[in-house]
Structure 1
Amino acid sequence: MDFIQSDRFEESVAIIKKNMAPYYKELNLVWDDEAKLSRYKECSLWVIKIMNTEVGFYMAYEYEGMFYIAELHIDSNYRNKGYGTEALSKIREIAAESGYKEIRVGAFKNSGALKLYENFGFRREGETEYTHELVATT
Structure 2
Amino acid sequence: MTPLIRPTNDKAFAENLIRQNMAAYHKQFDMRWETALFDKQWDELDNYELVVGDCRAGVLLLNHDEHAYYIRELQIDPQWQRQGIGAEAIRYVMERAQQAGINLIRLRVFCINPAIALYERMGFRVRKTEGGTHYMERSINDISNLV
For this pair of structures, how many residues does the alignment match? 138
- Give, in angstroms, the shift of residue 131 of structure 1: 0.5
Aligned to 2:92: 90
AA paired with 1:22?
A: A
Cα distance in 1 for residues equivalent to 2:58 and 2:113? 17
Check whether the contact 1:10–1:37 (CA below 8 A) recurs between aligned residues: no
Alignment of 1:34-49 (within 5 A): 34-49=36-51
Structure 1: stretches of 5+ with no match in the other structure: none
Q: Cα deviation per residue 1:25-80 (whole Å; 9 max; x = unaligned)? A: 01111221111221232100011123343211100001453210000011111111
Instruction: Name the TM-score, length of structure 1 as normaliser.
Output: 0.92
**Cα root mean square deviation, aligned:** 1.4
Secondary structure at the aligned position of 1:41 is classed as: helix
| Identity %, equivalent residues | 25
Q: Which letter maps to 1:84?
A: G
- Residues 22-101 of structure 1: pairs in structure 2 closer than 5 A: 22-63=24-65, 65-101=67-103
Q: Is the 8 A contact 1:13 1:37 kept in 2?
A: no
- Asked whether the 8 Å contact 1:67–1:100 carries over to 2, the reply is yes
Distance 1:127 1:64, change over 3 A: farther
- 1:4 is the counterpart of 2:10: no
Listed as ranges, the gaps of 5+ residues in structure 2 are 141-147
- Match for residue 144 of structure 2? none
TM-score by length of 2: 0.86
